[in-house]
Amino acid sequence: MDRNVYAEEWGVVGGVPVKRFVLRSGKLRAAVLSYGAALQMLEYDGQDRILGYDTLAGYLGDGSYQGAAVGRYANRIADGKFTLNGRICDVGRNEKGIGHLHGGEVGFDKRLWTAEIVDDGEEPAVCFSLLAADGEEGYPGNLSVTLTYRLVGGDALRLTYTAESDQDTVMNLTNHTYFNLNGREESDILDTRVRIAAEYITPVDARLIPTGELRPVEGTPFDFREEKAIGRDIGAPDEQLRLGLGYDHNFVLGSDRRRRHAVSAWSPESGVRMDCYTDLPGVQFYTANVLGEPGGKGGRPLRKNQGFCLETQFFPDSPNQPSFPSPVLRAGERYESTTEYCFSR
């Protein structure tokens, strides 16, 4: 089709049609789904650069959050509880019965979002919206969320989140796309070279919950301040790598909300570079350490180290860590955040 953005039906969930929106601009072509507001395809220079599935059935059976919008609180909350305004909020323990992960049993990744094409010009955009009810998964407040995917300048994908609540609540929205810049899904990402503009990580305990410490990366396998291959130190004898089975850690970008050049990634195999910009204080760098899903794109299984995630975020367990940047959204306030992925050769 010649249009810059169009919609097609992609199956049915609970009697409701699921739509797949295809956007194109310059060297980029993207596809996003109304199920989970998931990024299903991201082609740069004619090759797909992300993992995922060819059919809706793959996403319905997925356990790895492929391309999904994650919320109400992305990442982990210790023991599935936090205190807000003197009230204990129990949001459940959907991760091995010991903690809360990515919004709970039915997080935003498993919801059908309302979708609308909001720009069909040279920078096409689709806006997804969702209402999370007061008490849903244990969270307080009726939370209204939007996520807009927009292709910018022919070489960038911009994700803009907004949210408002009628009660004080906590919120942490992110995207869980697995990138593989090689353009070959069967290849791993260990040779991909990455730079992360972070001097600290938030180390974790055996439950992958932050200890509260900000630990310098200098002299550790977590020092990505100068570009290096993902695989160079991933097997180093380091306690944090052992706990995460590789990299699965929050890198501290800053304490304020200014826009930053957070991460650069470059594939020596394809020559493709991706630069990530965000106004959030952290990014979870995850190297697909436990990925193992049947029937990915082309029928090929998804496996360990086949992709990497850059989950821009507030820090994990921030509702229980008063020294971390606050994820609290006050009643009536408007939240807005932008993350952008820019591609080049």
Q: Which domain holds residue 10?
A: 5-344
Strand 76-78, strand 125-132: pairing: unpaired
State the average pLDDT for the chain.
Answer: 97
- For the stretch 212-254, pLDDT in tens is 999 999 999 999 999 999 999 999 999 999 999 999 999 999 9
Using one digit for the tens of pLDDT, what is the confidence trace for 122-148?
999 999 999 999 999 999 999 999 999
pLDDT of 263 higher than 90: yes
DSSP 293: B
At 194, list the tokens.
């990455």
Binning pLDDT at 50, 70 and 90, where does residue 1 land?
Answer: low
All residues at 6 or more sequence positions from 202 whose CB lies less than 8 Å from its CB, including other chains: 210, 211, 212, 213, 214, 215, 249, 250, 252, 282, 315, 316, 324
Of 340, 25, 305, residue with least CA distance to 180:
305
Q: Tell me the C-alpha distance between 344 and 275, whole Å.
A: 9
Q: Is the pLDDT of residue 33 over 70?
A: yes
pLDDT at residue number 275: 98
Contact 262, 236 (CB under 8 A): no
Give me the number of domains the chain comprises. Answer: 1
- Could you tell me where the DSSP H helices lie in 153-289? 239-244
Mean per-residue pLDDT, 271-299: 96
User: For position 2, what pLDDT does the model report?
Assistant: 74
Q: What angle do CA 339, 344, 345 make, to 5 degrees?
A: 150
Q: Which sequence positions are flagged as catalytic? A: 176, 311
What six digits make up the tokens of 3? 């249009």
pTM of structure: 0.97
Per the structure block, which two tokens stand in for 122? 């040279």
What's 209's domain CATH number?
A: 2.70.98.10
Q: Is the pLDDT at 185 greater than 80, yes or no? A: no
- Listed in sequence order, the residues at least 6 apart from 181 whose beta carbon sits closer than 8 Å to its beta carbon are 49, 189, 192, 265, 266, 267, 270, 272, 273, 274
pLDDT digits (tens, 9 = 90+) for 309-340: 999 999 999 999 999 999 999 999 999 999 99
Closest CA to 312 of 268, 261, 266, 267: 261
